């Protein structure tokens, strides 16, 4: 009887996710423009990807993105979270403030940064010009476009991590912290020997999620640069999107999607294992 | 910990936290401030206080962004998605939490795997399939997509609420002659209600803010969400940043207002599952 309870969830999930996912795997071996009859081409799409400079650029950018997001926001969030633990006043207010960016839609955040910060006419960058401080809009230069987009995503992301780490830190037994304090531990010793080991599993989980999300990153790149200029900020997901909907090369887009999924799959394996360890599975 | 050992540490802590808060609030403050200025004033200085408060930025943004229609679409989409996720998700979460079926392990594992499935893995066949079925620009069809995407994590979250309910309650109701369905609807659901509300809030937020699916499936003038409408409108009017920031504020306002009122539930829901004790 209880099997029936699963029908709505599974029917929706299988038809929206699983079936199209299987079709994507199949499409990766076909040439298809989305309209006419698909033609089987074997590994041609993958060979085309291997010979495509944009693909390697995008893959490299995803790896750079992963490296950035595994270090800067996690480090900063850990610092801020443990500092929240030190103070007694203003914790709730600060948490609410740090959480704000994650609830603001990516399009809004992107436009505010483009117009009010990076823009050489209407933004802070233009305003600084009066004082002889010359900053170019990072989104318009091939050398900096990816980092410009990453800066905005960092702003959007780190506070969420800080709140998660703070919630985890609060579960570190008070006696351990008290003992370290009595032994005269400094703030960084406390962090190194008590706080960080105490929330190791949360940090690990967030690092796994970071790897997964870094290979999925789409919104900020698509909205702010569309992968440009000259593909300098292209990532795999924007490349796949462009291939499917602008170039109407759905087969090659599907092949790109499989590459994205491959990285996700490895990380997902660790994710499920981490969840299972806690008795969820 | 009740305060730091020495003053320097505490001062330094407040300085760093203060800076972090400043970095976070600065772009939001710029958005609000400039939403009230005329375009030339924004260009003169994005930091200056408006000489004359231009409320008409808001009325023009509302009109040019086609927000009457777009807000209605966003609202319908959000409500539909919440109903679908909470309805289907709570049944599944209950069955999985109580291990009512033999294959609970398989289903849980599958759902965990789809939590992290990249949208690109299923987006392209889904789009061309929907196109063939005439479901593009159909808000209800898109709410089904959102339901599929947001269900797995919602189920995982709801499951923890079901797990916290004592088994005796169920057994007592069954002995009293309640059917299984009655146990679920009359005993379990009222107890896990806070969990369902939390899920509704998070799913609502994610639906309201979602970009990739919305921009792909809802491009028609009459079916756009507020986010898609703002995206297109902000691509066209890039000279009047006052009006643009007013539009941004309009889209963000309902979300931020709700967040301020229900911050604890928001934070609990969004960080839930990430914290391992």
Chain B residue numbers touching A112 (CB-CB < 8 A) = 27-28, 30-31, 245, 248
* Gap between the Cα atoms of A56 and B260, Å rounded: 44
Helices (H), B35-164: 39-44, 56-64, 67-97, 104-115, 120-132, 139-163
pLDDT at residue B265, as a whole number: 83
Q: Say yes or no: B89 and B223 in one domain.
A: yes
Q: Say yes or no: B12 and B80 in one domain.
A: no
Q: Say yes or no: B43 and B99 in one domain.
A: no
pLDDT at residue B142, as a whole number: 97
Preferred mutation among A3, A72, A95, A103 to probe B, highest tally of B CBs within 10 A: A103
The total number of structural domains that make up chain B? 2
Contact A274, B102 (CB under 8 A): no
Q: At residue B4, does pLDDT exceed 70?
A: no
The DSSP bridge partners found for residue A176 are: none
Q: Which residues contact A12 (CB under 8 A, 6 or more apart)?
A: B84, B88, B144, B147, B148, B151
Q: Say yes or no: B120 and B180 in one domain.
A: yes
Residue A219 C-alpha from the chain's centroid: 10
Q: What is the pLDDT of residues B147-168, one digit of tens each?
A: 999 999 999 999 989 999 998 8
Q: What is the pLDDT of residues A159-203, one digit of tens each?
A: 999 999 999 998 888 888 888 888 888 888 888 888 999 898 899
Q: Say yes or no: B197 and B178 in one domain.
A: yes
Average pLDDT, chain B: 90
Q: Number of A to B CB contacts under 8 A, please give it.
A: 305
Q: How confident is the model at residue B200 (pLDDT cuts 50, 70, 90)?
A: very high
User: Once rounded to an integer, what is the mean pLDDT over residues B223-248?
Assistant: 89
Q: Do A105 and B209 touch (CB under 8 A)?
A: yes
Q: Is residue A1 part of a domain?
A: no
Q: Is residue B270 part of a domain?
A: no
Q: Is residue A10 part of a domain?
A: no
B161 in reach of chain A (CB within 8 A): no
The DSSP bridge partners found for residue A30 are: A40
Contact B88, B151 (CB under 8 A): yes
Per 3-state DSSP, what percentage of chain B is helix, strand, and coil (rounded to 5)?
75, 0, 25
Q: Is residue A129 part of a domain?
A: yes
* Gap between the Cα atoms of A15 and B179, Å rounded: 31
Tell which wins on pLDDT, A269 or A61: A61
**Distance from the first to the final alpha carbon of chain B:** 18
CATH number at residue A108: 1.10.3720.10
User: Once rounded to an integer, what is the mean pLDDT over residues A126-147?
Assistant: 92
Q: Which residues contact B35 (CB under 8 A, 6 or more apart)?
A: B57, B58, B242, B245, B246, B248, B249
Q: Say yes or no: B188 and B208 in one domain.
A: yes
What DSSP state is assigned to residue B179? -
User: Looking at chain A, how many residues does it have?
Assistant: 281
Tell which wins on pLDDT, B143 or B2: B143
Backbone angles phi, psi at A40, to 5 degrees: -70, 130
Q: Is residue A146 part of a domain?
A: yes
Q: Say yes or no: B20 and B88 in one domain.
A: no
Q: Tokens 């802070």 label which residue?
A: A124
Q: What DSSP string describes A131-146?
A: TT-----GGGSTTTHH
B53 in reach of chain A (CB within 8 A): no
Preferred mutation among B14, B118, B131, B268 to probe A, highest tally of A CBs within 10 A: B118
Chain B residue numbers touching A178 (CB-CB < 8 A) = 1
CA atoms within 13 A on the CB side of A183: 13
Q: What is the CA radius of gyration of chain A?
A: 23
Q: Is residue A144 part of a domain?
A: yes
User: Once rounded to an integer, what is the mean pLDDT over residues B6-22?
Assistant: 89
The total number of structural domains that make up chain A? 1
Q: Is residue B272 part of a domain?
A: no
Backbone angles phi, psi at A39, to 5 degrees: -115, 130
| Residue among A118, A172, A167, A122 at smallest CA distance from A141 | A118
Both structure tokens of B172: 């007592």
Chain A residue numbers touching B189 (CB-CB < 8 A) = none
Q: Say yes or no: B82 and B131 in one domain.
A: yes
Coil, helix or strand for A185? Answer: coil
Q: How confident is the model at residue B5 (pLDDT cuts 50, 70, 90)?
A: low
Q: Is residue A14 part of a domain?
A: no
What is the domain extent for residue B120? 65-236
Kindly state the helix (H) or strand (E) to which residue A253 belongs, with its residue range. helix A250-277
Coil, helix or strand for A39? Answer: strand
Q: Is residue B120 part of a domain?
A: yes
Least confident piece of the model among A145-154, A272-281, B40-49, B134-143: A272-281
pLDDT at residue A86, as a whole number: 84
ipTM associated with this complex: 0.91
Q: Is residue B182 part of a domain?
A: yes
Q: What is the pLDDT of residues A23-57, one digit of tens each?
A: 999 999 999 998 888 999 989 999 999 999 999 99
* Gap between the Cα atoms of B77 and B70, Å rounded: 10
Q: Tokens 């990285």 label which residue?
A: A263
Q: Do A97 and B24 touch (CB under 8 A)?
A: yes
Q: Say yes or no: B128 and B32 in one domain.
A: no
Q: How confident is the model at residue A142 (pLDDT cuts 50, 70, 90)?
A: very high
The closest CB to that of A24, out of B13, B125, B148, belongs to B125
Chain A residue numbers touching B89 (CB-CB < 8 A) = 9
What is the domain extent for residue A164? 38-277
Q: Do A250 and B124 touch (CB under 8 A)?
A: yes
What DSSP state is assigned to residue A40? E
For helices B56-64 and B241-261, the axis angle rounded to 10 degrees is 90
Cβ-in-10-Å burial (0-12, 13-18, 19+) of A265 comes to: middle
User: Once rounded to an integer, what is the mean pLDDT over residues B134-152?
Assistant: 95
Per 3-state DSSP, what percentage of chain A is helix, strand, and coil (rounded to 5)?
75, 0, 25
Least confident piece of the model among A86-90, B147-151, B210-214: A86-90
**Distance from the first to the final alpha carbon of chain A:** 22
Q: Is residue A174 part of a domain?
A: yes
Q: Say yes or no: B111 and B43 in one domain.
A: no
Q: What is the pLDDT of residues B27-83, one digit of tens each?
A: 999 999 999 998 888 888 889 888 888 899 999 999 988 999 999 999 999 999 999
User: Once rounded to an integer, what is the mean pLDDT over residues A235-259?
Assistant: 95
Average pLDDT, chain A: 91
Q: Say yes or no: B82 and B175 in one domain.
A: yes
For strand A39-40 and strand A30-31, is the pairing parallel, antiparallel, or unpaired? antiparallel
Q: Say yes or no: B168 and B205 in one domain.
A: yes
Q: At residue A279, does pLDDT exceed 80?
A: no
């Amino acid at each position: 009887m209880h099997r029936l309870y699963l029908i709505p969830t599974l029917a929706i999930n299988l038809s929206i996710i699983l079936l199209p996912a299987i079709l994507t795997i199949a499409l990766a071996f076909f040439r298809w423009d989305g309209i006419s009859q698909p033609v089987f081409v074997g590994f041609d799409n993958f060979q085309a990807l291997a010979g495509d400079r944009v693909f390697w650029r995008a893959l490299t950018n995803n790896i750079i993105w992963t490296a950035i997001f595994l270090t800067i926001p996690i480090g900063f969030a850990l610092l801020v979270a443990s500092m929240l633990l030190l103070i007694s006043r203003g914790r709730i207010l600060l948490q609410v403030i740090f959480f704000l960016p994650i609830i603001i839609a990516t399009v809004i955040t992107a436009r505010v940064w483009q117009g009010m910060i990076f823009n050489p006419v209407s933004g802070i960058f233009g305003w600084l010009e009066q004082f002889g401080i010359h900053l170019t809009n990072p989104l318009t230069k091939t050398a900096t476009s990816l980092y410009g987009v990453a800066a905005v995503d960092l702003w959007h992301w780190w506070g969420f991590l800080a709140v998660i780490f703070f919630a985890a830190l609060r579960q570190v037994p008070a006696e351990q912290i008290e003992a370290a304090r009595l032994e005269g531990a400094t703030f960084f010793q406390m962090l190194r020997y008590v706080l960080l080991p105490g929330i190791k599993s949360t940090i690990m989980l967030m690092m796994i999620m970071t790897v997964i999300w870094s290979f999925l990153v789409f919104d900020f790149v698509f909205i702010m640069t569309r992968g440009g200029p000259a593909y300098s900020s292209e990532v795999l997901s924007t490349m796949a999107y462009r291939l499917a909907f602008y170039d109407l090369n759905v087969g090659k887009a599907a092949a790109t999607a499989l590459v994205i999924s491959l990285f996700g799959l490895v990380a997902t394996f660790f994710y499920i294992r981490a969840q299972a360890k806690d008795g969820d599975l | 910990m009740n305060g730091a050992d020495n003053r320097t540490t505490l001062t330094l802590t407040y300085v760093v936290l203060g800076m972090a808060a400043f970095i976070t609030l600065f772009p939001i403050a710029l958005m609000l401030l400039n939403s009230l200025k005329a375009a030339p004033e924004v260009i003169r200085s994005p930091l200056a206080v408006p000489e004359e408060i231009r409320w008409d930025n808001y009325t023009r943004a509302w009109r040019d962004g086609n927000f009457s229609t777009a807000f209605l679409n966003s609202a319908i989409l959000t409500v539909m998605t919440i109903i679908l996720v909470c309805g289907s998700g709570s049944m599944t979460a209950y069955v999985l939490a109580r291990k009512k079926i033999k294959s609970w392990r398989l289903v849980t594992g599958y759902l965990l795997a789809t939590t992290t499935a990249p949208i690109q893995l299923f987006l392209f066949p889904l789009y061309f399939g929907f196109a063939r079925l005439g479901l593009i620009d159909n808000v209800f069809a898109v709410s089904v997509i959102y339901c599929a995407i947001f269900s797995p994590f919602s189920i995982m979250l709801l499951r923890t609420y079901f797990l916290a309910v004592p088994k005796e309650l169920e057994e007592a109701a069954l002995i009293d002659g309640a059917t299984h369905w009655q146990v679920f609807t009359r005993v379990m659901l009222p107890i896990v209600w806070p969990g369902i509300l939390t899920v509704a809030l998070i799913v609502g937020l994610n639906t309201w803010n979602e970009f990739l699916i919305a921009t792909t499936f809802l491009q028609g003038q009459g079916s756009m969400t507020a986010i898609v409408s703002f995206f297109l409108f902000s691509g066209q009017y890039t000279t009047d940043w006052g009006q643009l920031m007013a539009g941004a504020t309009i889209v963000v306002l309902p979300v931020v207002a709700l967040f301020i009122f229900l911050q604890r539930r928001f934070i609990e829901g969004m960080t839930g599952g990430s914290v391992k004790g």
